[in-house]
Amino acid sequence: MKNVMVIIDESNSSYDLLIWALENQKDTIESSKVFLFATQPQNSFTPPTVLSSSVGFAQIFYPFSPNSELIRLAQEKNMKIALGILEKAKEICLNHGIKAETFTDVGDPKDLIRKIIQDQNIHLIVTNDQQTQNLKKCTRNTDCSLLVVTKTLSKD
């Protein structure tokens, strides 16, 4: 049994790619374990940050450092968004009779994908041409292949 991964983001083209893979690679998908992955953005708060406020014609600038509560709230929001993206993708898979396992994590997508390829023994990543460059680096020195879909994926 092969392990196949599709990387999902918030774009419609990502969902179109998943549907394309489920419909056009049906034999491969049905005989494989399917993984869906969505990355969460890293919070890039670089203290101190400057906020500005306008009062009439005057502007007031003041530095602030994000506290742990602000960072926690941002992380929670990112997690909810990633889980929502994955839930929609998982539902698409179920509608095609495929049970998929989902992953999300915070960090550099290249590092995260490389780790999943190794930990889950991924054999094939289905991707669009926009993600190809970064994924080629992730699959070096592995037995993982890339299936790159280059045509425009749109519903008529």
pLDDT tens digits, one per residue of 128-146: 877 777 788 888 888 899 8
Rounded-to-integer distance, Cα 84 and Cα 105, Å: 14
- For the CA atoms of 126, 130, 131, 133, the dihedral, rounded to the nearest 10 degrees, stands at 120
Q: Tell me the pLDDT band of 111, cut-offs 50, 70 and 90.
A: confident
Q: What is the pLDDT of residue 50?
A: 46
Q: What is the pLDDT of residue 45?
A: 53
Q: What is the pLDDT of residue 152?
A: 57
Rounded-to-integer distance, Cα 11 and Cα 79, Å: 17
Write down the mean pLDDT value for the chain: 81
Tens digits of residue pLDDT in 74-99:
888 888 989 999 999 999 999 999 99
Rounded-to-integer distance, Cα 82 and Cα 133, Å: 22
Rounded-to-integer distance, Cα 74 and Cα 20, Å: 33
Tell me the fold of 2-41+65-149: Rossmann fold (3.40.50)
Domain boundaries defined on the chain = 2-41+65-149
Q: What is the pLDDT of residue 25?
A: 92
- Kindly state the average pLDDT of the residues 104-124: 90
